[in-house]
Chains A and B, each alone.
Chain A
Amino acid sequence: SQTIHQWPATLVQPVGSPLSLECTVEGTSNPNLYWYRQAAGRGLQLLFYSVGIGQISSEVPQNLSASRPQDRQFILSSKKLLLSDSGFYLCAWSQNRLLNTEAFFGQGTRLTVV
């Protein structure tokens, strides 16, 4: 069966520090991968999605970047965190097939920038 791992679960980082969140998927190949952010009391915002290794699409301009160095690994990064980067970050995967909108989410990382 497929599983998705996301870590760490919680993170407190000072403003201006770098960030690296990692997500890995097991039990499937060539998945679509996603990073979302949910700020406190707000909706779930799609940040990045990837349909293959090295293929990253950004949905909104921001202080973050994403990379997909391996088929089932998705990394969210920042060189210098801002206070506004605080939020609940979720990684997700879906099968890479036409019109598929069934995604499976990780447990999330709650990031607090102080």
Chain B
Amino acid sequence: LAKTTQPISMDSYEGQEVNITCSHNNIATNDYITWYQQFPSQGPRFIIQGYKTKVTNEVASLFIPADRKSSTLSLPRVSLSDTAVYYCLVGDKIIFGKGTRLHILP
């Protein structure tokens, strides 16, 4: 299982674009990269998944460089309600690391 490394916490302001980067140096050829969001006292919610280059949906974008050793979750124009913990997962097991605690300030 590929180990992932994310910043423990980040602060940003409403209306800003937020980028959270995850390192996964030993990602395997078949591994997908998946991001989840978790609010307090709730289960995580799937945000986006990708294999290479760029994936975009209505919530976020996921940028994956050619070597796939890292990925960046991009949240456009965040609001206070985006304050949550964001997890990066790599591989076919749904195992969560410590995640990044994102705090959006007014």
Contact = CB atoms under 8 A, between A and B. Distances in A.
Secondary structure at the B interface, as helix, strand, loop or mixed, is: loop
Interface residues of A, number: 24
Contacts of B89: 101
A103 B97 contact: no
B43 to A, nearest CB: 3
Contacts, number: 53
Interface range, B side: 20 to 34
Contacts of A99: 30, 32, 92
Interface string B45-57: 1100100000000
B81 interface: no
Given A46-B96, A99-B30, A105-B45, 9 more contacts: A43-B98, A88-B41, A101-B32, A101-B93, A102-B46, A103-B44, A107-B42, A108-B41, A110-B41
Interface of A: 34, 36, 43-46, 49, 59, 88, 90, 92, 94, 98-108, 110
